[in-house]
Amino acid sequence: MKSILKLGLALSMTLGGALSSRAEIVDDPAVVEASKTENGVLVYSNLEPEFWEPVLDLFASKYPWIKVETTNMGGDLWEKYYAESSTGTRTADMILTGGADRWLEFADKGEIVDYVSPHTPDLPEWSRPLPGLYSASTDPFIIAYNKFLISEDKAPKSVADIAKLAPELKGKISTYDAAANPLGLTLYWEWNKAHPDEWSVVEAIGAASRPERSAGTIRDKVLSGEYAAGVFLSGVNIPRLSKPEAQKVAGWAFPADGTPLVLRGLALTKAASSPNSAKLLLDTLVSRDGQIALAKSGVTPYRSDINKEDVPFFSYNSIVEQIGEENIIVVGYDRDLIAKREEFTAKWKEAFTAKP
């Protein structure tokens, strides 16, 4: 995967200007007309409403007749979709979330529509890991800490640093509940692959942790002082942690011993009742303007024709430039996780079970 990313990055630097100068992509008139007969778009996602606002404003300016309803859900969105689609109940026209193992299952069940967006030539190959599966963003996962509970001389710069602090922070560390959240399980699976001899680091953190289902909850509790540190918070939290008032209380870092980068999957569903409207929304999300709109709230864009000056925070290219590709853990679509999910979940639970 890393070799693919290296090639993709090299090509982006070579072809960036060419891509950005392509003629404006024109919508398929038949898709646009068909969308006018549909009843809006329902999206099951793991994005909070504020992250949707800029891109939905852009979408509304282009397609004012299409109403978009979004959700902010965890791993239960998959079960909700399966239950609704099996009974013919209105369900998601599009899913936007992480969790590579669940995306692979979704594809194997034939639930992804193999839609080819007109923006496909402008997207790196690695951002389209399966037929019909796109990436809405490439999000880094960070560590955060409360400055009043962890002194500056002990400020963690890596996951291992937090593990060293764990004995004095019992119950004051948090991370994703990997047993309940597919994305959390995937993060720890990839961490274990990258650090096969360092499970003791995870065990040390687990012994002092109170896992949560949402990174937003972890962020808020780090800011309030309920937690001293959070491990693997999504990069969408960087804008809030970068505000002056938050900087007085909390610090954050890309983990020096490996920063996970997650492809936030995006696909049209087989059970969609508004397939044409959903196509237009997907096209907007992966377009240059759509990626820049998503980035306004802190979601990390990956297109090669997006420069530093185009976004307020980070892009894929700027993260690579800052920490080096050797310090990136690309969270891929590993089928071994499906086969070993129960076994690995049990291993994770054991590490995060309170010890006497």
| Residue range 75-128, pLDDT digits in tens | 899 999 999 999 999 999 999 998 788 899 999 999 999 999 999 999 988 899
Residue owning tokens 């993060």: 187
58-75 tens-digit pLDDT: 999 999 999 999 999 988
Co-location of 280 and 213 in the same domain: no
Percent of the chain scored above 90 by pLDDT? Answer: 74
For residue 22, the model assigns a pLDDT of: 52
Instruction: pLDDT band for 6, please (50, 70, 90 cuts).
Output: very low
- Residue whose C-alpha is closest to residue 54's, from 311, 302, 233: 311
Quick check: 134 and 282 in contact, CB under 8 A?
yes
Quick check: 125 and 287 in contact, CB under 8 A?
no
Co-location of 176 and 304 in the same domain: no
Instruction: pLDDT band for 233, please (50, 70, 90 cuts).
Output: very high
Instruction: pLDDT band for 15, please (50, 70, 90 cuts).
Output: very low
Q: Could you give the number of structural domains in the chain?
A: 2
Residue 38 has pLDDT above 50, yes or no: yes
Angstrom distance (rounded) from CA 301 to CA 285:
10
**Residue 296: CATH number of its domain:** 3.40.190.10
Co-location of 224 and 278 in the same domain: no
Co-location of 342 and 246 in the same domain: yes
Instruction: pLDDT band for 320, please (50, 70, 90 cuts).
Output: confident
Co-location of 238 and 287 in the same domain: no
- Number of CB atoms found within 10 A of residue 356's CB: 2
Angstrom distance (rounded) from CA 224 to CA 74:
23
List the domain range (segments joined by +) for residue 205: 140-261+333-351
Co-location of 301 and 253 in the same domain: no
Co-location of 75 and 58 in the same domain: yes
Does some domain include residue 50? yes
Does some domain include residue 356? no
CA 346, 348, 353: angle at the middle one, nearest 5? 90
Residue 339 has pLDDT above 70, yes or no: yes
Instruction: pLDDT band for 8, please (50, 70, 90 cuts).
Output: very low
Instruction: pLDDT band for 333, please (50, 70, 90 cuts).
Output: confident
For residue 95, the model assigns a pLDDT of: 99
- Residue whose C-alpha is closest to residue 41's, from 73, 74, 63, 25: 63
